[in-house]
Amino acid sequence: MINIHRLTSHLQELSEIGRTNEGGVNRYSYTNEERLANELVKKYMETADLTVEYDAVGNLIGSLKGKENLPIILLGSHIDSVPNGGKYDGSLGILTAIEVLHSLKEKEIRLNHPVKVIAFKDEEGTRFGFGMIGSRAVAGTLTDEDLNRVDQQGVSIEQAIKEYGLEKYRLQSAKIENVKCYVEVHIEQGKVLENHDAAVGCVTGIAGPLWLQFTLTGLSEHAGATPMDQRQDALVGASLIIAEAEKIASEYPTAVATVGKLSVKPNGVNVIPGEVIWTMDIRDIDDDIRDEVERKITQFAEKTAAARHIHLKVNELQRVAPVPCDEGIQDVVKGSIREIGESVVSLSSGAGHDGMQFKDRFPIAMIFVRSKDGISHNPKEFSSAQDIEKAAIVLFKTVLILDAK
C-alpha cells in the first residue's frame, strides 16, 4: 500500500541535515539547516506531484487538487527540532503524509477533497521559547506582538522571518480557510504503546503545555567572605522552588513539571549567584489541574523569595490549551488500525503538537507510532520500519475514508 523503503530512506536523508555528532538533530527555525531540510522535503513533495509553496511565515505547503471543490484535508507535522533531538520527532509525520499522497498518485487514486501537507514552522519553540509559530499562522492566531519574541542573540521572530527572505506583513495570508480536518502521524514519545505491545495508537487528546520563565534576583557577593546567614543566594532559592515544583506535580497522576533551561549569573566558582533564570514547562490533559499546579508552584516561589529577600519575576512564555481529538475521526483511525490486524490502543498525548492550534476551528486527530523505550527528544529516539509502515497504512486508509465522507 505504501513504499516503506522510500519513506525510511527519506527519513534517513532528512536526518543528515543538522545532524549532531551524537547522531541527534539540531534544526532550529529560520536557520540554514532548517532551510536545507525544507528544500529536501520540498523535493519529496514535488516528486509526489504536489504543488509546493512557502507561506508568509515559512510554512512549507504541498497542495493536491481534489476532484471537487470540497473542504481541505490537512496533513502535516514539523521538521524543526529540540537541541540534539531525535530524527523521528516531526519528520516522520511529514514524510509519512507525503508518502501516502505519493502512493495514491502511483495507484492513480484521485481524491474528492483537496489535500495540503504542511511542514509547520517552529513547532518546538527551541529558538524563541515560543512554539507552534507555523500552525498559529495557519490558524490565523499569530499576532504581530508574538513576532516580537527574541532568541538568545536578541533576534526577533519578525527579523528572522525577514532575514529568511519572507514578508512578515502578509501574516494574515497564512491563514487557511475551509478546512475539513487535520490528521497527523507522530511518534508517541512515551511508553504506553510499548507497554501494550502495540505498533500504533489512536490519540484521544493532547495535554496543554504552559511555559513560564522564572527570574530570581538576589545579590552577587564573595563566596568566602559572606556568612551563611547574610546571603541573598538566588541559586539556593531557585533550587528550593524547583525541588518543590517536582513534589507538587507528583501529587497529580497526569501532571508534569519540568525545568529544561537554567542560567546562573555571574556564574563564578567563588561568587554567590546574584541572578538565576529558568524555564518551567507545566502540563496536564486537564487545564484546571494544570492551573492548580501552576498556582501552587508560583505561591511557593513567592513565599521562598520573600523569606530570602530575593526578587521574583514570573513571565508567561506560552499557554496552550489542552485539546481533545475528534471522536468521529478517532473511530475512523481505530477502524483502520483494526483493518490491518492490530490491536487498538487509545492514549492521550503528553507531548504538544501543532494540531492544538486548530482547537475550535476544525476537528483534529493523531496517529501515534510506538517509540522504543519511550525515548524522545534524544538521539536514541527510534521507531521501527515495521511500525512506521503500519502507521502509514493507517493514515492511507484514514485519508481514503475521510475523503469518502
Q: Which residues here bind ligand HGY, judged by CB under 6 A?
A: 123-124, 131, 209, 351-352
352 binds, among ligand HGY, Mn ion, none (CB under 5 to 8 A by kind): ligand HGY
Q: How far is the CB of 165 from ligand HGY (least distance, A)?
A: 25
Positive or negative torsion for Cα 326, 332, 334, 337? negative
Return d(Cα 329, Cα 42) in angstroms, integer. Answer: 28
Q: How far is the CB of 177 from ligand HGY (least distance, A)?
A: 26
Burial 295-314, CB ≥16 within 10 A → b, else e = ebbbebbeebbeebebebee
Q: How far is the CB of 352 from ligand HGY (least distance, A)?
A: 4
For 270, other C-beta atoms within 10 Å of its C-beta total: 8
Locate the DSSP E strands across 13-133: 51-54, 60-64, 72-78, 115-120
Answer for the pair 250, 243: CB distance below 8 angstroms, yes or no: no
86 binds, among ligand HGY, Mn ion, none (CB under 5 to 8 A by kind): none
Q: How far is the CB of 348 from ligand HGY (least distance, A)?
A: 12
91-106 and 4-15 are packed helices; what angle lies between their axes, rounded to 10 degrees?
140
Q: Footprint of Mn ion on this chain (CB under 5 A)?
A: 89-90
90 binds, among ligand HGY, Mn ion, none (CB under 5 to 8 A by kind): Mn ion
Return d(Cα 5, Cα 87) in angstroms, integer. Answer: 16
Taking the least distance from each CB to ligand HGY, the nearer of 25 and 234 is: 25
Taking the least distance from each CB to Mn ion, the nearer of 25 and 399 is: 25
209 binds, among Mn ion, ligand HGY, none (CB under 5 to 8 A by kind): ligand HGY
CB neighbour class for 226 (10 Å; exposed up to 12, middle 13-18, buried from 19)? middle
Looking up cell 481533545 gives: 324
Taking the least distance from each CB to ligand HGY, the nearer of 209 and 237 is: 209
Q: How far is the CB of 80 from ligand HGY (least distance, A)?
A: 9
Taking the least distance from each CB to ligand HGY, the nearer of 80 and 275 is: 80
Amino acid identity at 248: I
Angle at 287 between CA 282 and CA 293, to 5 degrees: 45
Q: How far is the CB of 124 from ligand HGY (least distance, A)?
A: 5
294 binds, among ligand HGY, Mn ion, none (CB under 5 to 8 A by kind): none
Taking the least distance from each CB to ligand HGY, the nearer of 71 and 350 is: 350
Taking the least distance from each CB to ligand HGY, the nearer of 135 and 304 is: 135
122 binds, among Mn ion, ligand HGY, none (CB under 5 to 8 A by kind): none
Q: How far is the CB of 266 from ligand HGY (least distance, A)?
A: 31
Q: Is the peptide bond before 83 cis (omega within 30 degrees of 0)?
A: no
Taking the least distance from each CB to Mn ion, the nearer of 90 and 134 is: 90
Q: How far is the CB of 391 from ligand HGY (least distance, A)?
A: 18
For 227, other C-beta atoms within 10 Å of its C-beta total: 6
131 binds, among Mn ion, ligand HGY, none (CB under 5 to 8 A by kind): ligand HGY
Residue 348 forms beta bridges with which residues?
205
Taking the least distance from each CB to ligand HGY, the nearer of 93 and 114 is: 93
